[in-house]
Structure 1
Amino acid sequence: MNISFTKQQEKYIQEQVASGEYQNNSEVIRDALRLHTIYREKVIRDLRAEIEKAWDAPISNKTVKDIIAEKNLQK
């Protein structure tokens, strides 16, 4: 497998190894992939929970424009 990194990513990987927390570049990448997997699973779980809430919610008379306007007011 051949993987390309940006200069910034290479620098980050090198800094992590230099910190002593990781023995080599591969450990940094494996940890990053592990954390990415955890993050993705959480995002999917959260999205599914929101979809379930929406399915179970009462029908709204609001239009999409109404909802967007309300969200913009909350900012």
Structure 2
Amino acid sequence: MNISFTKKQEEYIAKQVATGEYQNNSEVIRDALRLHSVYRDKVIEDLRREIEKGWSGPDSPRSMDEIIASKKNR
């Protein structure tokens, strides 16, 4: 696998290794991917919970056009 990083990302990875918390660049990347997975799973679960609240909640007396217009006027 070949992965390219920006200069800023390479510097960040090197700084993380320099702290001694990681032994090498691969450990930094694996940890970042693990954290990304945790974050992504949480975001998806939060969205599902909000969608369920919407489906289970009361119907709005406003039309879809009224709701969209109110958001555009903000």
Report the equivalent of 2:36.
Answer: 36
Matched residues, number: 70
- The answer on 1:14 being equivalent to 2:14 is yes
Percent identity, aligned pairs only, is 66
> Aligned Cα RMSD in Å?
1.4
Give 5+ residue unaligned stretches, structure 2. none
**If the length of structure 1 is used for normalisation, what is the TM-score?**
0.86
Q: Which runs of 4+ in 1 moved over 3 A?
A: none
The whole-number CA distance in structure 1 between the counterparts of 2:31 and 2:60 is: 44
**If the length of structure 2 is used for normalisation, what is the TM-score?**
0.87
Give 5+ residue unaligned stretches, structure 1. none
AA of the residue aligned to 1:60: S
The whole-number CA distance in structure 2 between the counterparts of 1:57 and 1:51 is: 10
